[in-house]
């Protein structure tokens, strides 16, 4: 049976949450902190049967939850958000300790956003049934009906943000959910279950099954009773899930990795671009939307490099629980081995190290913010997502080359473009990604679409796009 996990004044239940109750498992898995690799405790590992129980509970709860209507669901969801807010300190401890996320970002950014992810969709679901199309022949009442049981599968790099981003619209539009949290960072999801319980969400509406991807995740996506699968994670896992979703004809939303361009045009405010460039190392670049391929106009290359190097040298690398820290640890020994492998192979292939390049003195799982130049378009370090603080810098001669280089990737998630505003906007419009920031980075308005092209994913979530995914659209046709 799983235990509770004690963290700096906080007790976290490490069992599942199924049909409104805590349920343990005979099997457990160990969770470690990336801060210092200390063992945090054991978390229950759901069996295939327990996953089936969670889907059954969600299926049983679905008709009554759907029948409440958006107005009836809103008070529950507002309370859910309030209960998340009440757990701010516990959530900070959970994600700083198991995911290595920055405490400052959690307290001031991620937790308020997690609450908004619930309240925003609860509010906006009120307008879901107001789509009416009038033609000569008929009135079309276009309904957004809830789909049923939704599987929510999230990665370790920002579990609370990504889980609430999906759970908010799924529940607000009348679905019930089974969440499979990431096994390297499972603790905040357990606190979400406490919040859902305290908010009085009816049993079965919100369920959590902890466990590995290979056992628990695989059992969940294989369940033929699912109405939707919303997945954020890596390309290989997405291929596995998409094959099963395809066989079962279950719509799947896939938010995947990236190798996003960070373009610096010759007419850019170089200081602003360099300051933003240094932010790419936040969360040790374990951020899907970070710009990781720097494409810099030849004429300003040296000055930009000097300025960015200066900003990077001032970054505080260390314990994410220290509010002054800007770059925390890499999540897991396996992940840092992957990062080291990319770095060694890049060096062996002749890449020039502009800064960084090795393990940081803060500890075994900390890696120096690193930048490589002297790389070619076919190099592994230019083409593959590292998911660690290792960036590459290339130069371009003119706008056409900048756009060509930006688009020379199998990915298409995000991008950044610094330059005189009209110029930068014109370039940004030609870059093939799901989103791109002009003279800025990281603005994620909840009403705006989010998702990627190519191997960065299928589908969009955010605002009305979330409702399009989590609902079945029905046209009720009334002739005139
Ligand atoms: P991952 O694909 O290894 O795991 C993601 C989740 O899928 C985990 O919960 C895991 O347990 C589960 N899983 C694994 N195998 C499964 C299976 N066979 N069936 C069902 N579930 C399974 O990804 P990760 O390493 O946790 O996350 C890093 C990746 O996520 C990076 O590629 C990153 O770019 C991407 N990411 C994308 C976004 C986005 O919004 N586009 C956001 C964050 C992270």
Q: Are residues 200 and 299 in the same domain?
A: no
Distances in whole angstroms, Cα of residue 426 to Cα of each of 257, 277, 357, 400, 445: 25, 21, 35, 11, 22
pLDDT for 9: 83
Closest CA to ligand 1's atom 10: 213
Burial 337-352 (b: 16+ CB within 10 A, else e): eebbebbeebeeeebe
Residues 374-385: what's their mean pLDDT?
Answer: 97
How far, in Å, CA of 392 to CA of 261, rounded? 10
* Same domain, yes or no: 37 and 76: yes
31 Cα to the center of ligand 1, angstroms: 17
The reported pLDDT for the residue numbered 2 is 52
CA 311 to chain centre: 26
Whether residue 83 has its Cβ less than 6 Å from ligand 1:
no
Q: 300 in a domain, yes or no? A: yes
Give the atom of ligand 1 at the shortest distance from the alpha carbon of 218: 19
Side-chain-side CA neighbours of residue 415 (13 Å)? 30
Same domain, 316 and 248: no
Examine the domain organization and report whether 49 and 96 are in the same domain.
yes
Look up the domain containing 94 and give its range: 4-256+456-476
- Mean pLDDT computed over 262-269: 98
Atom number in ligand 1 closest to CA 233: 30
Indicate if ligand 1 lies below 6 Å from the C-beta of 186. no
pLDDT, average across residues 353-382: 97
Same domain? For 197 and 315 the reply is no
416 and 347 in a single domain? The answer is: yes
Q: Look at residue 130 and tell me if it is in a domain.
A: yes
ipTM, two decimals, is: 0.97
Interval 193-251: pLDDT, tens: 999 999 999 999 999 999 999 999 999 999 999 999 999 999 999 999 999 999 999 99
Is 447 inside a domain boundary? no
| Residue 16 sits in the same domain as residue 159 | yes
Asked whether 458 lines ligand 1 (CB < 6 A), one says no
pTM for this predicted structure: 0.97
Task: With respect to residue 127, please indicate whether it lies within any of the assigned structural domains.
Answer: yes
Token couple for 11: 């007790």
Q: Mutation test of ligand 1: which of 234, 248, 290 has the most ligand atoms closer than 8 Å to its C-beta?
A: 234
Tell me if 450 is assigned to some domain. no
Same domain assignment for residues 186 and 312? no
Left if phi > 0, otherwise alpha if psi is -120 to 50, otherwise beta: which for 391? beta
Output the residue whose Cα is nearest ligand 1's atom 26: 155
259 Cβ inside 6 Å of ligand 1 = no
Q: Is 394 a member of any domain?
A: yes
pLDDT tops 90 at residue 84: yes
Q: Is the CB of 435 under 6 A from ligand 1?
A: no
Task: Answer positive or negative: Cα dihedral of 39, 333, 310, 384.
Answer: negative
Calculate how far, in angstroms, residue 214's C-alpha sits from the geometric centre of ligand 1. 12
Distance in angstroms (rounded) separating the CA atoms of residues 158 and 328: 13
Token pair belonging to 446: 């909840």
Residue 367 has pLDDT above 60, yes or no: yes
- Mean pLDDT computed over every residue of the chain: 97
C-alpha to C-alpha distances, 272 to 182, 267, 380, 409, nearest whole angstrom: 35, 12, 29, 26
Is the pLDDT confidence value at 398 over 80?
Answer: yes
Distance CA 21, CA 189 (A): 15
**Of 193, 149, 145, 202, which is closest to residue 175 (Cα–Cα)?**
149
- Any ligand 1 atom below 6 A from CB of 165: no
Tokens at 6, concatenated: 């004690």
* 404 and 466 in a common domain: no
How many structural domains comprise the chain? 2
Ligand 1 centroid to Cα of residue 221, in Å, is 13
The verdict on residue 446 lying in a domain is: no
The residue nearest atom 30 of ligand 1, judged by CA position, is 233
- The CATH number covering residue 161 comes to 3.40.605.10
Residue appearing with tokens 């940081």: 360
- 479 alpha carbon – ligand 1 mean position (Å): 47
Q: Per-residue pLDDT tens for 430-469?
A: 999 999 999 999 999 999 999 999 999 999 999 999 999 9
Which phi and psi angles does 3 have, rounded to 5°? -105, 180
- Note whether 84 and 114 are same-domain residues: yes
- Closest-CA residue to 188 (of 228, 141, 155): 155
How much helix, strand and coil, in percent to the nearest 5, is found in the chain? 40, 25, 35
Find all residues with CB under 8 Å of 206, minimum gap 6, and list them. Answer: 17, 167, 171, 176, 177, 179, 192, 193, 196
Please say if the pLDDT value at position 1 is more than 60.
no
What is the pLDDT, as a whole number, of residue 129? 83
pLDDT of residue 3: 76
Asked, for residue 448, whether it belongs to a domain, the answer is: no
Looking at the CA of residue 288, tell me the nearest atom of ligand 1: 34
Diameter of the chain measured on Cα atoms: 75
C-beta of residue 404 within 8 angstroms of C-beta of residue 410: no
40 lines ligand 1 (CB under 6 A): no
Q: Measure CA 188 to chain center.
A: 14
CA of 290 to the centre of ligand 1 (A): 16
pLDDT tens for 125-174 read: 999 988 999 999 999 999 999 999 999 999 999 999 999 999 999 999 99
Q: Residue 283: which CATH number?
A: 3.40.309.10
Q: Which of 43, 212, 213 to mutate to test the pocket of ligand 1 (most atoms within 8 A of CB)?
A: 213
**Catalytic residue numbers?**
255
pLDDT of residue 200: 98
Question: Is the C-beta atom of 28 inside 6 A of ligand 1?
Answer: no
In the prediction, which pLDDT does 130 show? 84
d(CA 240, CA 220): 13
Whether residue 223 has its Cβ less than 6 Å from ligand 1? no
**6-59: per-residue pLDDT in tens?**
998 899 999 999 999 999 999 999 999 999 999 999 999 999 999 999 999 999
Residue whose CA is closest, atom 3 of ligand 1? Answer: 234
- Residue 250 and residue 288 share a domain: no
Q: What is the pLDDT of residue 8?
A: 82
**Residue 250 and residue 150 share a domain:** yes
């Amino acid at each position: 049976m799983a235990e509770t996990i004690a963290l700096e004044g906080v007790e976290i239940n490490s069992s599942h949450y199924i049909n409104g109750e805590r349920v343990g498992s005979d099997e457990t898995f160990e969770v470690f902190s990336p801060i210092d690799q200390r063992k945090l405790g054991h978390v229950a590992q759901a069996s295939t049967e327990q996953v089936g129980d969670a889907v059954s509970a969600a299926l049983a709860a679905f008709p009554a939850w759907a029948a409440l209507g958006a107005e009836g669901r809103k008070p529950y969801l507002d309370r859910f958000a309030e209960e998340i807010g009440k757990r701010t300190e516990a959530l900070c401890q959970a994600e700083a300790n198991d995911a290595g996320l920055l405490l400052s970002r959690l307290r001031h950014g991620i937790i308020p956003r997690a609450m908004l992810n619930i309240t925003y969709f609860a509010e906006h679901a009120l307008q879901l049934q107001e789509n009416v199309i009038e033609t000569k022949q008929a009135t079309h009442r276009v309904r957004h009906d809830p789909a049923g049981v939704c599987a929510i599968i999230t990665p370790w790099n920002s579990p609370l943000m990504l889980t609430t981003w999906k759970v908010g619209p799924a529940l607000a539009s009348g679905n019930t959910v089974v969440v499979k949290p990431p096994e390297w960072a499972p603790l905040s999801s357990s606190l979400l279950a406490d919040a859902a319980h305290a908010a009085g969400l009816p049993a079965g509406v919100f369920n959590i099954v902890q466990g590995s991807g290979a056992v628990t995740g695989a059992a969940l996506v294989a369940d033929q009773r699912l109405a939707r699968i919303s997945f954020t994670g890596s390309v290989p896992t997405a291929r596995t899930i998409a094959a099963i979703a395809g066989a079962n004809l279950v719509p799947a939303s896939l938010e995947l990795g990236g190798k996003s361009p960070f373009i610096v045009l010759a007419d850019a405010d170089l200081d602003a671009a360099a300051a933003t460039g240094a932010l790419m190392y936040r969360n040790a670049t374990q951020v899907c939307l970070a710009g990781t391929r720097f494409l810099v106009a030849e004429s300003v290359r040296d000055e930009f490099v000097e300025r960015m190097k200066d900003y990077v040298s001032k970054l505080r690398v260390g314990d994410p629980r220290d509010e002054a820290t800007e770059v925390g640890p890499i999540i897991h020994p396996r992940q840092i081995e992957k990062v080291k492998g990319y770095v060694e192979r890049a060096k062996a292939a002749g890449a020039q190290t502009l800064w960084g390049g090795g393990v940081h003195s803060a500890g075994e799982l900390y890696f120096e913010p690193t930048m490589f130049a002297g790389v070619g378009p076919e190099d592994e370090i230019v083409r593959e997502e590292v998911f660690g603080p290792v960036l590459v810098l290339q130069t371009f001669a003119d706008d056409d080359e900048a756009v060509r280089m930006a688009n020379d990737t199998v990915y298409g998630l995000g991008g950044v473009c610094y330059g005189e505003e009209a110029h930068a906007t014109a370039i940004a419009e030609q870059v093939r990604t799901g989103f791109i920031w002009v003279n800025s980075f990281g603005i994620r308005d909840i009403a705006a679409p989010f998702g990627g092209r190519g191997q960065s994913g299928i589908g969009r979530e955010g605002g009305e796009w979330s409702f399009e995914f989590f609902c079945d659209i029905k046209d009720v046709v009334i002739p005139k």
